[in-house]
Structure 1
């Protein structure tokens, strides 16, 4: 009688190759992101050289956007989620509101003005609260249900389009809440519903924001989806172009935000010239806005362009340029706690690329001070912290361990 053979475990190198192929990434591209040669990567994938040390494993995980480190290593004792944060306690309630479409209305929908007032307060809270998911997670279920009800009860075509624009904006807020949480299908569902509601509204600003969020979702899915991200952005920019000359500031701002997204994706590809060309276009768009303007959804405005420059340089793996841009960007205040924390994380990535890990850790500490929740959900920050817990310097190990406790990577 034949005996069932126990399947051999998948080797580390095989996992790297599988994940790289799924991401649509060539061996030279991944090797370049790691600062290694394609031949070194081939030897890793074929098992000709040993499994690298933790810092290199973490950099591979970052480049491949591996959500759980165990998926890369095969070691369940290393089940650390990098690019996915802890599920927020409000996630089930938000998910239920998104998934449910009540067909029978037993109450009157709030007025359009009332809904817009609540939305404005929610966006304000998102920018001012150190733990913004805590705040907007409590507000979203009722907002979603009321905005859906408002669309259903609209009694004219004009009122229905306005209600759809409001519903789209509620979905945009929900997309920020759902990002980096352990339900990627829900995130895509929200993104698609936001786009449908925006298109039904025929509102240029809503359509532009929906495209901005959709482009991010595509890009974060990996290099195989970069082309889709570009298509969404370019189509939205063509659509918005006739509205720019006499358009209100939010429409001008979303156009600039989309231009930056095009540059961001180009930087992910390693296309330096295209990335900076798009950043220049976005910078010119920002200069057309009031000096104190700050878009409540995308954070786009004059104050954010320095932070965007840091991101472009970091994604291009240009450590020295990242640091130069970080020094320049710090001259401008960012009026949003989570966006400031995100900027600090990008600065930290730049400092680590430039061989300044001590400064990177200090900068991550500043990110935590600005918005603790943002750093807890950020895979780049988590990777740097974990890598530095293995540093040779006792001082760096101690500082990294303290940060790891703060963000929930290690028990106190």
Structure 2
């Protein structure tokens, strides 16, 4: 369906397609017909994923259908013109799931040092919100890491398997951001398979994050909560003398789980997970970026804001969100928090401030802003609510986000 429709307008389209009246649909999701009418006419913002998911369930469609995901990955000088289809082909290659192995053309596998450098470089590019760049380069890195895991032996093979697992995790993390949740699930599954022979709790725990992210990106919030609990139980025996990386992975699992719990409308579990993450951050002693987690007290605070918004507690989000200093975190985390602040301001009818935050975020990370449903929904709703001609600045934003022809 066209990306130029708001979520409310998509709800109206699917409701009519399914032959449901406003009264019937509202009753099925525990709301009033008046509420639904305001949603469909863009008079009320529909930005809580728990509510959007309940509507998608009634329509028997995916969450992505109402969010207009996946969205088209634009070509940029960073990405070139060989992006998502190439990554999809790599993830769906039959050689990855058969005994035939990878084609190597007689070339020697990459060294562990080379793979480490390239894996780190792509993770850093992801945290710099260079999504097109990472997408275009992942197929080659996945092929090379798989070849190394197949052809090396001994400790080098174990190292290659860990690096292959981390590369698959990067693919899963990126694909979740881009709305390609089915491919993200494949990548997370492949990553866990690759790392299983090593028995490495750090990389395994890191991949559990991707499983959790993929589950709650498809609206399977309670399953994501259970994954968090199971993964934490798996890691706890290793926490007697944890490395900073393991402690960061453990804490970040609870941050992911807290978002899933909030989207499942479970404030008690949300608070429990945030408390566990805060304890891990205190043990870590400050903000850090071990294994690209961006974990520490600031990221815990970011998730306090995001979960409050998901639970409908706008007051907490407005009070805490703008006061957080996120400049010490990777760009991806800074911009993700900025989107939550924009959402909070908008919910409080502080539209000018919301627009300013969103425009500043776009300046920092245009690809990330373009690919998040919150920014697209906000910009398009602001356009729809204009009584007169929208400002040139707002029209420009909406066009750059591909939600206005």
TM exceeds 0.5? yes
Residue in 2 that maps onto 1:149: 147
Indicate the RMSD between aligned Cα atoms, in angstroms.
3.3
Report the more deviating stretch, 294-303 or 230-239: 294-303
1:217 aligned to 2:203?
A: no
Residue in 2 that maps onto 1:367: 361
Residue in 2 that maps onto 1:187: 184
- Unaligned ranges ≥5, structure 2: 1-11, 75-80, 96-100
**Is the 2:245–2:291 Cα contact (8 Å) retained in structure 1?**
no
- Unaligned ranges ≥5, structure 1: 1-9, 19-25, 32-37, 74-78
User: How far apart, in 2, do the equivalents of 1:302 and 1:29 lie?
Assistant: 40
Residue in 2 that maps onto 1:40: 33
Report 1:9-408 matches (<5 A).
12-13=14-15, 30-31=29-30, 38-40=31-33, 52-56=40-44, 63-64=51-52, 82-87=68-73, 89=81, 90-100=83-93, 101=95, 102-105=101-104, 106-128=106-128, 131-156=129-154, 158-181=155-178, 183-222=180-219, 225-329=220-324, 331-392=325-386, 394=388, 398-408=392-402
Offset at 1:30?
Answer: 4.5
User: How far apart, in 1, do the equivalents of 2:256 and 2:230 lie?
Assistant: 13
Q: Structure 2-normalised TM-score?
A: 0.81
* Distance change (3 Å), C-alpha of 1:51 and 1:271: closer
Residue in 1 that maps onto 2:7: none
User: How far apart, in 2, do the equivalents of 1:109 and 1:380 lie?
Assistant: 42
Offset at 1:335?
Answer: 2.6
Deviations 1:283-307 (A, max 9, x none): 1211222424123433222332221
SS at structure 2 position matched to 1:64? helix
User: How far apart, in 2, do the equivalents of 1:28 and 1:347 lie?
Assistant: 31
**Is the 2:209–2:256 Cα contact (8 Å) retained in structure 1?**
yes
* Distance change (3 Å), C-alpha of 1:392 and 1:249: same
User: How far apart, in 1, do the equivalents of 2:113 and 2:262 lie?
Assistant: 41
Offset at 1:57?
Answer: 8.2
**Is the 1:404–1:410 Cα contact (8 Å) retained in structure 2?**
yes
* Distance change (3 Å), C-alpha of 1:332 and 1:92: closer
* Distance change (3 Å), C-alpha of 1:16 and 1:64: farther
Q: Structure 1-normalised TM-score?
A: 0.80
User: How far apart, in 2, do the equivalents of 1:84 and 1:104 lie?
Assistant: 31
SS at structure 1 position matched to 2:72? coil
Offset at 1:262?
Answer: 2.1
**Is the 2:221–2:260 Cα contact (8 Å) retained in structure 1?**
yes
* Distance change (3 Å), C-alpha of 1:60 and 1:271: closer
**Is the 1:257–1:300 Cα contact (8 Å) retained in structure 2?**
yes
User: How far apart, in 2, do the equivalents of 1:319 and 1:60 lie?
Assistant: 11
* Distance change (3 Å), C-alpha of 1:167 and 1:58: same
User: How far apart, in 2, do the equivalents of 1:399 and 1:67 lie?
Assistant: 32
SS at structure 1 position matched to 2:292? coil
Offset at 1:81?
Answer: 6.0
Offset at 1:58?
Answer: 5.4
Deviations 1:194-220 (A, max 9, x none): 122232331111111111111111112
Deviations 1:342-396 (A, max 9, x none): 1111111111222222211111112101200001100111111111102246587
Report the more deviating stretch, 178-187 or 373-382: 178-187
Deviations 1:138-180 (A, max 9, x none): 3212211110001111222x43332211101011111233224
Report the more deviating stretch, 207-216 or 401-410: 401-410
* Distance change (3 Å), C-alpha of 1:30 and 1:310: farther
User: How far apart, in 2, do the equivalents of 1:296 and 1:383 lie?
Assistant: 32
User: How far apart, in 2, do the equivalents of 1:207 and 1:221 lie?
Assistant: 22
Residue in 1 that maps onto 2:5: none
